[in-house]
Amino acid sequence: MDFVEQQEQARQQTKRFILYFVLAIRGRNGPSVLRIDAALEHLAQASPQLKKLVLNACSHAVASDGALQSREAELLRAIADTLDCPLPPFLEAAPT
């Protein structure tokens, strides 16, 4: 298998993981903790590159409104820990 074929295979695997993750979370009746947990456990088996993509997407999602709430930060850290990609603690801004 040449380099181009390996890249395409990796891209297809990434698409399958992300699709599985999204569908697993959504479910028929909306998201549930059990479905999210199962999807994260499945995603934990993915390649480091895919984990990085997922964490990057999650980071962009929590930062999309320009403010990082403590609950968002903790959820992001929990997802990262589940994927065996721990993030350092977030520091609170010092009062001015």
- What pLDDT is attached to residue 11? 67
Model pTM? 0.62
Q: How far apart are CA 43 and CA 93, in angstroms?
A: 32
* Nearest alpha-carbon partner for 84 in 53, 46, 57, 58: 46
Identity (one letter) of the amino acid at 74? Answer: E
Q: How far apart are CA 76 and CA 80, in angstroms?
A: 6
- What pLDDT is attached to residue 22? 67
Domain residue ranges in the chain: 3-82
What pLDDT, in 10s, does the model give residues 6-17?
777 766 776 676
Backbone φ and ψ for 85, nearest 5 degrees, come out as -130, 65
What pLDDT, in 10s, does the model give residues 2-57?
878 877 776 677 667 666 666 666 667 766 777 778 878 888 888 888 888 888 88
